[in-house]
Amino acid sequence: LLQMLAIACLTLHHYSYDLTDIPTLMLCSGTYVGYVVVLSGEIVGEMLFAPLDLVQDMYFGILGVGLYSVSGGMVLAARTHDPSYPRTGNHTAALVAAALALVNAFVMLFDLSLAYLDSEEFDDEASEVVSAAADPYVEAWWSGAGGVLFGACGALTLHSWYDVPPCARRTFAQAAAACAQAAAVLMAVDSILSLCSAHKDTASTRTKSHKATNA
């Protein structure tokens, strides 16, 4: 449900963003895209039978409640007041996206309470063993997705500013693109290292299990 709401917010945001309100545009874009990646990583963990531990779940949940609440509130505040200048984007889509963002914040808050209650019913020792084996795969997914996004942002920024005459903003844009490309490389390396770590842990576990069986 959270993933579907995040995708719905991102889709509506694509058709309704306001170019005259850059802070809200950046906040909403970062929140919606970021949580599509975060929630997809949680789905990967669930598929590997290794959901996030309570600390990680609480961190992403509290952060998500704050970001979605502020994003939805800022869009509603901007769209429900008469502006002194024309706004861009579809007005109705913006209101729906803001409403869904607030709904998403409420659902995340409800999910936090359920996660806390459920955490007391699980076998902590068994959960830690499974989570430790699957964590590298989730980290690899997050790093890989982040690397792709940062690389795409850097490449698109360089392409967009290529034909622009030299100026201060072009220099800043190119510097930001270079930082994005560097972050993409680091995330790609981190993703590879996480996969190698997962493979090493799996091989080590199999070796120990084989020795225990022989003994």
- Of residues 115, 21, 16, the one with CA closest to residue 65: 115
Instruction: Give ∠ CA 54-55-61 in degrees, rounded to 5.
Output: 85
pLDDT value at residue 75: 92
Question: For 147-169, what is each residue's pLDDT tens digit?
Answer: 999 999 999 999 988 888 888 88
| 50 contacts 128 by C-beta, under 8 angstroms | no
Mean pLDDT score of the chain: 81
**Token code pair at residue 176:** 């930001």
pLDDT at residue 195 greater than cutoff 70: yes
State the Cα–Cα distance between residues 206 and 189, nearest whole angstrom. Answer: 26
pLDDT value at residue 122: 52
Backbone φ and ψ for 189, nearest 5 degrees, come out as: -65, -45
Whole-structure pTM value: 0.74
Give 119 or 68, the one with higher predicted confidence. Answer: 68
**Token code pair at residue 88:** 């861009």
